[in-house]
Structure 1
Amino acid sequence: MSPPEEYWLSGPIPEIPALLQPAAHALLQSVREVKEYVSDFPEEKLWEKPFGRAAVGFHLRHLSGVLDRLLTYAKEESLTEAQFQFLKNEGNGEKAPSLQQLILDFEQKVGEALAYFKTIPETILTEQRFVGRKKLPTTVIGLLFHAAEHSQRHVGQLLVTVSVLKNQ
């Protein structure tokens, strides 16, 4: 059986504005690849840091956390104390969820992102937004594009870390 087409080759996602299709496709691809890469990953290695690099658990937590934060900024909202706590603990393996829960959390956050995309009129995509305490300027589409490409970047790092740990 041949692997499924990548999301960007599978046509438009219903109700997602045309200009957000690439970001939606990249997020869905990220979920698919995470599931593939960690399908037989040993739970006991979830928080190992090979060569001092970030753990698989960190990448999975960070995927959910950064997506949540970027969506908050896109909505012109401020981060909550809970979001700051989540950020602080992304790399902490103590009391961390299981591998399967981390995957489910990311998949759920992508679902929330896609639901949000469906509510966005294309006319606001170039509206200015601000990031962080320094209020760094960007746009709605800049935030959403970055959410997608940042997810893909961490999925790539996760793949390398998984490969190293599985072959130790």
Structure 2
Amino acid sequence: MKSLQMERLTRAAFAPFGDVIELDGARHFPINGATTERYHDLAHVDVIEQGGRPLVNLFRAQPRALPVEITMMERHPLGSQAFIPLRAGRYLVVVAPAGEFDPARMRAFWTDAWQGVNYAKGVWHHPLLALDQLSDFIVVDRGGDAPNCDELQLAEPWRLAFEPSVELIG
């Protein structure tokens, strides 16, 4: 079985695949008489191709046990897809660049607490990989009549590998 090394999720590392949705480093300013802080424009929502419209959904992810094996990937060729956790919780992200799927170009990330992700249009990704507990996510993606989900089974499974200093195992 092939191994895929996990990386910490950062804006720079994830930029080829979309946006990291987090408050650190985000543009923000006070609103509503300075009673609220607005964190502005956290992700590029791209859903209007072929008459699409934005959808706001809640996804409830069952926790996965470690070790995790990756056997399939999916993509949304007509729109982006953002995942915003509703509470701090560990989850994993596995992606590959848009275009023809190349397993050698897959990357895997572990998230910090409140980080969300926005997969750019056409980026290959694994479905939610929540750890530890039932996890709810607000998901912003594309609605419309045109089909917008391609799935593929990998020729062989990949196992996610963790550096010893990463305390995800346990």
Mark yes or no: TM-score above 0.5: no
Higher strand share: 2
Q: TM bucket by the smaller chain? A: under 0.3
Higher helix share: 1
| TM-score when normalising by structure 2 | 0.21
